[in-house]
Structure 1
Amino acid sequence: MKPKGRPLRVAALIKEEIAKLLTKGLKDPRIGFVSVMDVRMSKDLRYANVYVSLFGEAAERKSSLVGLQHSAGWIRHEVGKYLHIRVIPEIRFFPDDTLDKVYHLEEVFEEIHAEQQQQPMLQLSLGEVVDLLREGNIFYLVCHENPDGDAVGAMLALRFMLQAMGKANISCAAADPIPRIYQDLPGAKTVVNADAEPPNFDLAVLLDCGRRDRVGAIADYLAPGKRLLIIDHHLEPGEPGASGLVDPSYASTGEIVAELFDAAAIPVSQDAALCLYAAVATDTGGFRFSNTTARTHHIAARLLETGIDVHLWNNRFFSDMNRKKFELMRRALSRVEFHAGCRVALSWITSGDLEDLEARQEEVENLVNYWQNVDTVSVAIIFKSFDPNTTKVSFRSDASFDSAAFLRQFGGGGHAPAAGATLDMPLEQAKDTVLKALLDELRSGE
């Protein structure tokens, strides 16, 4: 057999299957009358360049090409059902230059890229997410900066799920260090930071955040045009041009990953269960927050059935406190201010406090819950000033106030009972600005 024999056979099969799909008609309304003229394979069979004739006016032809490029992943999945090869080639569409020499490819692909970046995130079902994960070979799993238990737990659990699928090339990354209380979770020590350049991944997965600008310095590795899958439960739109599952009805991203195990028919190992429990338990405040649902408890019960030591880990997540955190708590509590008839309570921590107490930023996590427990308080706030011109603010609230909706005016987001934002202003200005806006809103609602 000649060396070119196999590539030619694979090309012919791909051409035939794509022609069938085009004959049946694709769902994308942008795709007009298109004819497959040729398919050329790369030597390693990893890429299939599909040359098509595009008919109609110039605008219609460009629209068809944009539609084909946008549908390339789905077409690849469908064609892959009929290819008996280990790696399904990535499909790339090109106009047939034998028919239109004046067609400017670079201009077209710039338009394709621009349009893709303007498209809303494509919402997927659990099954469609599983299909996309099964297609991938090299994965880059990323969570938001300043990772919490849900971000870390969901990311590590997904890593176990991919390993159970037989995937071997999986990198996990976070821009900031993993907090101490999560460092002993299975797989946590494999998480790298932004200094570690990722492999040439074919799928990046953002967990517990929906946009590139939430992942800190790691965003530099997520260049536009890279395949991006979002798995998140926050009430904010996903990254334009990406695909994913964003559903705020889930109490945590960990819950979504737990249901992905079910959708993939993969048993949850004890290590994966512990990571998922960390995600679910911490993002519901030990199942006390208002986002806790019957589904939350059902998932938690199944995780406990794997034999994880709930007493040990609940103590670590919710009770254990080192001396430095205790001193930070005491300092923050001494500053608590009450406003609006004690409906609002706020405090703050600065970089100077961390230096005095030799504490770390992660030890400020959840301090706000202490003044939220005051019976009259509906909105609890902590301001964190670790940079002279930047202040981070975290809100916790009861069912009478939507923290996420309020903080959107400051570029923030999250959930109704728990949200945050970063303000480009010094601490005192941030406190005055946020408090004034909050008091105005509370008065307008009376």
Structure 2
Amino acid sequence: MNDYSRADRVASLVHEEVARLLQREFKDPRLGFVSVMGVRMSPDMRFANVYVSLYGSDSEKKSSLIALQNGAGWFRRKVGRILRVRHIPEIRFFADDSLDRVYHLEEVLDHVHREQQGSPMLVLTLEEAAERFREARSLLITTHVGPDGDAIGSLLGLYWLAKALGKPVQLMVDSPVPQILRFLPGADLIRDAESMPKPFELAVIADCSSFSRVGGAAKWLREGASVLILDHHTEPGEPGTAGHIDSTFAATAELVAELYAALDVPIPPEAALCLYVGQVTDTNGYRFSNTSPRTHRIAARLMESGQFAPHRVAEQVLEFMPRPKFFLLRRMLERVEFRGKGAIAASWLDTDDFSDCGAEREHTDNLIHRLRQVEGVRVAVLAYAVDARHVKVSLRSDGSFDCAACCRQWGGGGHVPAAGATLEAPVRSALEKVLAAVESSLSADGTRLPS
């Protein structure tokens, strides 16, 4: 088959399928009467230019074209199911050249871009999110950089759910899996974000709600991908995506456990262990204020489904301390400073501390809890160097101070009792900036500091 005949055949298939989809499946309130006049393939077969006739008033025609442009990614995925080609062409809609042009194409595309950027996340119920997961033919699952037990546990819990439903699934995280979590079933399947993933129909982001938090994985999510967000933090979801965010869950792992129930899928032992680790991490062994009766009911289900000893999990995730972590802890404690008449405890770690101790950034996990445990401390703050330019600042409170609200001013977030943010500044400067905000908030809320 020569290049022309191949392009002609692909164009014919695209024409037929797009016309069918417009008539039977594509739903958008902005779409008026539209007919497909023809399809032209680009010379390299990477683009399918679909020419349509638009009917109605000028504004109605414009709205119809905007609806089609917004749905181009959806059409591409649908068309990809019938094409036997290595690269599924991108679908681009144009007003038919035989019609009078009532608007400039660049203006339309700019309008589409602004609309997509400003469109809020489509909020789904748990059941709707479960149905999207079920309907996807293939999945890519990712989570935030610097993943903790809930991030990895939730990601792997979703992996085992996809496997139970018989779906091809890929796991991608733009950070190494922490050493203490590598024992989890499926952890060895997690890949970094450098290599292009295989084609997928739905991307799922677990335990965070924005592309900025997933690091390098974001580049594989931006181009026409359908994205489902599952999270329990209070931040709004990424514009242009769909998702279920419920901050009443103590951990995203709990939300994933409820997905199993919504889909009527038994939780396999592998998933039960992963989700239990997620719970244990984000409740600090069921000691944080986010622990609820539902938390314990879900924990019971996981223990009944799994084949693990809960005390062993707690030892591994919460109590195990490699020597480099112990050396970091010692340095952190040597530098503790109390502010606000003892209501604030703060410390810091710089790049030299990590190299001197032979430690990794993952070894900072849970160190801040030592500061919060001190008598009279309402807010603990720990700043540590991520690299030569960036500093991660973590906050923990007794619940009387909103850590998440404080961290949002630097693009961070989390929960009332636990949150964090990344700042571009020297370690001590970043720490002082955050401490000033914490002290100001504690003074402004009218709450008496300890005397």
**Shorter-chain TM band:** 0.7 to 0.9
Amino acid across the alignment from 2:333 = L
Amino acid across the alignment from 2:303 = L
Which secondary structure state, in structure 2, belongs to the residue aligned with residue 281 of structure 1?
helix
| Equivalent pair of 1:391/1:430 in contact (CA under 8 Å) | yes
Q: Provide the residue aligned with 1:256 in structure 2.
A: 255
Which secondary structure state, in structure 2, belongs to the residue aligned with residue 346 of structure 1?
strand
Q: Provide the residue aligned with 1:349 in structure 2.
A: 349
Distance 1:14 1:199, change over 3 A: closer
Q: Provide the residue aligned with 1:434 in structure 2.
A: 434
1:231 & 1:199 partners in 2: Cα distance?
A: 22
Give the Å deviation of 1:240: 0.8
Distance 1:90 1:9, change over 3 A: closer
Which secondary structure state, in structure 1, belongs to the residue aligned with residue 237 of structure 2?
coil
2:432 & 2:20 partners in 1: Cα distance?
A: 66
Q: Provide the residue aligned with 1:400 in structure 2.
A: 400
Which secondary structure state, in structure 1, belongs to the residue aligned with residue 342 of structure 2?
coil
Q: Provide the residue aligned with 1:312 in structure 2.
A: 312
| 1:317-370 C-alpha deviation (Å, 9 max, x unpaired) | 111212221222122112211111111111112221111111111111110001
Which secondary structure state, in structure 1, belongs to the residue aligned with residue 140 of structure 2?
strand
Q: Provide the residue aligned with 1:339 in structure 2.
A: 339
Work out whether 1:172 is the aligned partner of 2:171: yes
Q: Provide the residue aligned with 1:239 in structure 2.
A: 238
1:69 & 1:355 partners in 2: Cα distance?
A: 51
Work out whether 1:149 is the aligned partner of 2:149: yes
| 1:185-232 C-alpha deviation (Å, 9 max, x unpaired) | 000011111233222333222111111111122223333432222111
1:76 & 1:165 partners in 2: Cα distance?
A: 24
Distance 1:104 1:135, change over 3 A: farther
| Equivalent pair of 2:348/2:428 in contact (CA under 8 Å) | no
Give the Å deviation of 1:243: 1.3
| Equivalent pair of 2:390/2:426 in contact (CA under 8 Å) | yes
TM-score, L = length of structure 1: 0.85
| Equivalent pair of 1:390/1:422 in contact (CA under 8 Å) | yes
Q: Provide the residue aligned with 2:302 in structure 1.
A: 303
Distance 1:41 1:290, change over 3 A: farther
Amino acid across the alignment from 1:67 = A
5+ residue gaps, structure 2, are 1-7, 42-46, 447-451
Distance 1:197 1:98, change over 3 A: closer
Give the Å deviation of 1:271: 0.2
Work out whether 1:370 is the aligned partner of 2:370: yes
TM-score, L = length of structure 2: 0.84
1:386 & 1:357 partners in 2: Cα distance?
A: 15
Q: Provide the residue aligned with 2:423 in structure 1.
A: 423
| Equivalent pair of 1:231/1:253 in contact (CA under 8 Å) | yes
1:20 & 1:391 partners in 2: Cα distance?
A: 52
| Equivalent pair of 1:343/1:379 in contact (CA under 8 Å) | yes
Between the two proteins, what is the percent identity of the paired residues?
43
Task: Give the number of equivalent residue pairs.
Answer: 429
5+ residue gaps, structure 1, are none
1:234 & 1:132 partners in 2: Cα distance?
A: 21
Distance 1:422 1:398, change over 3 A: same
| Equivalent pair of 2:252/2:278 in contact (CA under 8 Å) | yes
2:407 & 2:22 partners in 1: Cα distance?
A: 47
| Equivalent pair of 1:251/1:296 in contact (CA under 8 Å) | yes
2:14 & 2:385 partners in 1: Cα distance?
A: 59
Amino acid across the alignment from 2:96 = D
Distance 1:296 1:187, change over 3 A: same
The worse-fitting range, judged by mean Cα deviation, of 346-355 and 129-138 is 129-138
| Equivalent pair of 1:143/1:174 in contact (CA under 8 Å) | yes
2:350 & 2:409 partners in 1: Cα distance?
A: 24
| Equivalent pair of 1:15/1:39 in contact (CA under 8 Å) | no
Q: Provide the residue aligned with 2:285 in structure 1.
A: 286
| 1:239-291 C-alpha deviation (Å, 9 max, x unpaired) | 11111112222211111111111122111100011111111111111111111
1:335 & 1:185 partners in 2: Cα distance?
A: 35
Q: Provide the residue aligned with 2:409 in structure 1.
A: 409
Which secondary structure state, in structure 1, belongs to the residue aligned with residue 429 of structure 2?
helix
Amino acid across the alignment from 1:138 = S
| 1:123-152 C-alpha deviation (Å, 9 max, x unpaired) | 112222233223333322111010001110
Amino acid across the alignment from 2:384 = K
Amino acid across the alignment from 2:209 = G
CA RMSD of aligned residues (A): 3.4
The worse-fitting range, judged by mean Cα deviation, of 413-422 and 102-111 is 102-111
2:274 & 2:161 partners in 1: Cα distance?
A: 11
2:18 & 2:295 partners in 1: Cα distance?
A: 44
